Structure 1
Amino acid sequence: MNPSSPALLRIDALSFAYPDQPPLVSGWNASIGPGVTLLYGDTGTGKSALLQVIAGMLPASSGRLAVAGATLDTAPEAYRRQVFFVDPVTDRFDQLTARECTASLAEGDAGFNEAKWQAIAEGFSLAPHLDKKMFMLSTGSKRKVWMAAGLASGRPLVLLDEPTAGLDMPSTRCLWSTLSGFDGQQGRAVIVASAARIDTVPLAATIELPLA
């Protein structure tokens, strides 16, 4: 992280383990600043679980997480309002249209950029799908809906889990182009969890798993 850039996500002595399993992380300390950070590791190293811990969806064994001044253990609702994350396997939006899903994800997000969302939705070729219910969409199209909302959000921290899974090449190019726009942008951090290296986007930092 650039020393002149304030940390948007602070991780202090974080530990996490599934019951009766060795820890995925133990006593981890990190400061995540603006821009794109790659969370890199092979399948099974715990990338998805770690994103869910950072999102406040899975409880850490110990440690503290803070985003933009909101601390998860003392102000959980305020913390979660600072973070954009959708679990790629969720079914909670299935009965909403893609447009309604986007509105739900943007609720309470004063910095949501409608024009940016429209541009990303166009780049993802989502226009024919916006009024279809989410359960009717392919895995890749669902990811596009969630990612378009996240990339257009005004929340300080955006978490993307294997964002290229199920994406066609034009949509992948749109994703890389949009992520490149976060380079040098203050007040916004994106963590991309991926089992592949990324050389098409300027990265602020790379975190390699396993950490424990």
Structure 2
Amino acid sequence: MRLSIAPSLLEIQNLRFAYPDQPALADRWSAAIGEGVTLLYGDTGSGKSTLLRVLAGQQPASAGQLRAAGVALDAEPAAYRRQVFFCEPASEAFDALSVQACTALLGEGDAGFDNAEWQRLVEAFSLVPHLEKQMFMLSTGSRRKVGLAAALASGRPVVLLDDPVGALDARSIHGLWQAIERRVAQPGRAVVVASSERVTEVPLAACIELPLG
């Protein structure tokens, strides 16, 4: 495991997570994730999605501490979650909302949300004809694009992406990596990409491989 030497935006200390009667996904794992792109690499079913939910503060760890942009999850959970963007790709929570309403909800409380970047991504992802549609009406790929556009336009320091290229067309994949590069070119921005494929499209600041310990 190679860790970034950039200033730490996501600090992980002695993290442990395990489902009952299952081997631990992380056992006393510590890391400091800095600016740039960090690849969270593991086979399908290795627990990458679960670990992202833990890092997002959406699923409790068995032990350990998390700190995002200097904010500790255990001390200030709401403030911690405002430092981290994570949208579950398969979530049905937004089904009844239009694309625009879903985006507004995902960007709630995000004072640094970049509307110009969001519009650029909407066009790159061919979402313009779908903005008034309810989320349940969209294909799997288009639903993912809505979350990705909100994520990469977010002003939050840490963005967690779960298999971001899944179900995307080639044009959208190209636009995705371009947007990630634009994002991490800005100071104080970290993107964690969970994938079962090696990432070669953008330079990596770090690669973390599962299992963790």
TM-score bracket for this pair, using the shorter chain length: over 0.9
1: CA distance, partners of 2:66 / 2:173: 31
Q: What residue number does 1:7 align with?
A: 8
RMSD: 1.0
Matched, 1:120 2:121: yes
1: CA distance, partners of 2:42 / 2:23: 17
For residues 69-90 of structure 1, the C-alpha deviation after alignment (integer angstroms, 9 at most, x for no partner) is 1111111010011110011121
Alignment partner of 1:94: what SS?
coil
2: CA distance, partners of 1:145 / 1:44: 24
Note if contact 1:14-1:62 (Cα within 8 Å) is conserved in structure 2.
yes
2: CA distance, partners of 1:116 / 1:154: 11
Q: Which runs of 5+ in 1 are unaligned?
A: none
2: CA distance, partners of 1:39 / 1:73: 23
CA drift of 1:202 comes to 1.2
Q: What residue number does 2:177 align with?
A: 176
Identity across the alignment (%):
60
CA drift of 1:19 comes to 1.3
Alignment partner of 2:183: what SS?
coil
Calculate the TM-score normalised by the size of structure 1.
Answer: 0.97
Q: What residue number does 1:140 align with?
A: 141
Q: What residue number does 2:97 align with?
A: 96
Q: What residue number does 2:112 align with?
A: 111
CA drift of 1:44 comes to 1.4
Calculate the TM-score normalised by the size of structure 2.
Answer: 0.96
Note if contact 2:39-2:208 (Cα within 8 Å) is conserved in structure 1.
yes
2: CA distance, partners of 1:125 / 1:164: 15
Superposed, which structure 2 residues align to 1:1-212 within 5 Å? 1=3, 3=5, 5-212=6-213
Q: Which runs of 5+ in 2 are unaligned?
A: none
1: CA distance, partners of 2:23 / 2:200: 32
The verdict on how the C-alpha distance between 1:2 and 1:86 changes in structure 2, with shifts beyond 3 A counting, is closer
